[in-house]
Structure 1
Amino acid sequence: MKNPFRGLMLNWHRIADTRQITLDGVRISTDSQTTPRSVRSALFKGTYESHERKIVRRFLKPEHRVLEIGTGIGLVSLVCARICGAEKVLSYEANLRLEPIIRSNYALNGLTPNLHMRAITVDGNPITFFRNDNVVSSSTLERGGDVEKVKVESDRFDNVLATHRPDVVIMDVEGAEIGLLSGSTLAGVKHIIVEIHPHITGEEQVAAMMAALKDKGFEPHVHEHKTIMLSARTRLEASH
């Protein structure tokens, strides 16, 4: 059921032309000249990456090191940085157009997570990125519609894991999670927070990915809509 309060908040902020909003203690620009309309609306309603943020607030600890794949506008990486320190957060974003928005939001908060404007892939080769004016529809997978094809450099997933040594991997990559999580060793990773996209990949591929993660020792234990948190079995056993 839709929350009518969210609609009221959206309309109020639009009428007021709100230029900045605070979510989870993080200040985010909502300037209509720079923030995509769909993102701006979600920010005003409080729904932007709300499921990821809820899990992060609940489970991320100050000692954790974080790898985020899919920075978006930088909100989730800033929430992580407030908890465990910006120096422990490494974030990758393949949509080069988002860099000024991300860095502006980082500056608003006086925090500078490590930002790499590149893709993450299984093999580290350059990719074709399908860039849409609607940031939430941009993807490494071709989804049709009016998109611009651009070449983007990438880093190999397992190499980044070995170098940064994250405890937690956070991933929102519009369908590319299937190949990344199925094709990586995930060595040293304790927790995975991933948004799945069955409407893009199909339910069968999601099921195959979950089976592959189970074979690697990960079990799902938190579900927030389409966002799932999986933990290495030894971590789950220790918590019981």
Structure 2
Amino acid sequence: MKRLARSIRKKYRYFVDAKTVTIDGVTLISDRDRIPLYLRDLMYREVYEDTERNILLKILKRGHKVVELGTGLGFISLLAARICGSENVNTYEANPAIESLIRENFRLNNIEPQLHMRAVTRDGRKLSFNAADNIISSSSFERGVSGRTLDVDSEAFSEVLRAHSPDVLIMDVEGGEYELLMSDNLGPIEHILVELHPHIIGREKVNEIRSHLGAKGFAVESNDRKTFHFHKIRPT
């Protein structure tokens, strides 16, 4: 029944050329002049960011402190803020080209997660960032996609953790996960929700991440496609 309802809503959205879409209570701009068609289709079908969304809806609680690395269009930070409170959600985005879209999505929902327009790196260095025309392919890695290369400021990962003391870390940084998650100190984090990218960093580095997190006391709670939920196991 839910699948049928989604199908009906999708057809209606295409019929009226919907300029916004609401998914799980979060409204997003879906204007064809501003959003790539493939991304718009994901929104219309209500499968945009579905792997992260499905896990977050199970684990987030009011008062959780959340840090998100890779804001994208702001959907996940908005979802987190609806549950945890805007004051408890800090989100970082390196791509200046999408700042206006993020802030418009925030205004549409009358919710203001704490947005930081800079990258996060291990050491806080200036970063060469590939801002792709394909929004979700932007990365600090050269991926052979059309776009432009920018020098962007970054904040050291350790400083981000120190400043916000997150319970939940959400990360979709298109290959940057290796540099960050191989850190020795992961602070007070209880949950890590990360999209791993073997096609960018290689399967060996993905396996290194999983082994390293295991050594730090994190176990895989669940995974859906490339999205993994690691949960900190406390000694009994």
Asked whether the two chains share a fold, i.e. TM above 0.5, the reply is yes
**1:12 to partner: Cα distance:** 4.4
List runs of 5+ in structure 1 lacking aligned partners.
Answer: none
Rounded Cα–Cα distance in structure 1 between residues aligned with 2:133 and 2:4: 28
**1:182 to partner: Cα distance:** 0.7
Q: State the SS of the aligned residue for 2:182.
A: helix
- Amino acid across the alignment from 1:101: L
Rounded Cα–Cα distance in structure 2 between residues aligned with 1:53 and 1:6: 16
184 and 116 in structure 1: CA distance in 2 versus 1, 3 angstrom threshold: farther
Rounded Cα–Cα distance in structure 1 between residues aligned with 2:210 and 2:186: 14
Moved over 3 A (4+): 3-12
**1:63 to partner: Cα distance:** 2.1
Within 5 A, what are the aligned runs for 1:171-190?
Answer: 171-190=171-190
163 and 230 in structure 1: CA distance in 2 versus 1, 3 angstrom threshold: same
> What's 1:74 paired with?
74
Matched, 1:208 2:214: no
> What's 1:90 paired with?
90
Rounded Cα–Cα distance in structure 1 between residues aligned with 2:207 and 2:4: 34
Q: TM-score, normalised by structure 1?
A: 0.92
- Say if 1:27 and 1:105, in contact at 8 Å, map to a contact too: yes
The percent of aligned pairs where both chains have the same amino acid is 41
- Say if 1:68 and 1:169, in contact at 8 Å, map to a contact too: yes
Residues 124-166 of structure 1 deviation map (CA, whole Å, 9 limit, x = unaligned) = 0110001111011111111113231100100000111011110
- The count of aligned residue pairs is 234
- Amino acid across the alignment from 1:127: L
> What's 1:62 paired with?
62
Q: CA RMSD in A?
A: 1.8
- Say if 1:35 and 1:101, in contact at 8 Å, map to a contact too: no
More deviation in 29-38 or 165-174? 29-38
> What's 2:227 paired with?
227
Rounded Cα–Cα distance in structure 2 between residues aligned with 1:216 and 1:42: 35
- Amino acid across the alignment from 2:13: H
